[in-house]
Amino acid sequence: AQRVTQPEKLLSVFKGAPVELKCNYSYSGSPELFWYVQYSRQRLQLLLRHISRESIKGFTADLNKGETSFHLKKPFAQEEDSAMYYCALGGSNYKLTFGKGTLLTVNP
């Protein structure tokens, strides 16, 4: 079975502070991990994928297969980063399994 856990429903940080959104997964096969983001009044959209190993909007995420984690990090949070963040797991069965999401608020 595929399962994604995001332990924090809410995360509040100040502008300029580091931020880490946690994601743990359970999957017996070779996982593909994603972070999706939903800004206020916008559609859910892809932020980054583990396979691309790129930094998007200053965010990075490293897949740790030993700890089955895919935490999202940014060294200096900005107010425009305030959004709902979803970690998602893709397998070979044509579906994404999403975590329940973490609402990030970046305070001025």
Contacting positions for other proteins (CB under 8 A):
32, 34, 43-46, 49, 51, 86, 90, 93-101
DSSP string, 6-35: ---SEEEEETTS-EEE--EEE-SS--EEEE
To other proteins, the closest distance from the beta carbon of 39 in angstroms equals 12
Pick between residue 9 and residue 108 the one whose CB is nearest to other proteins. 9
Pick between residue 38 and residue 69 the one whose CB is nearest to other proteins. 38
Residue 33 has a CB neighbour count (10 Å cut-off) of: 22
Q: Which residue, chain included where needed, has tokens 């200053």?
A: 58
To other proteins, the closest distance from the beta carbon of 71 in angstroms equals 18
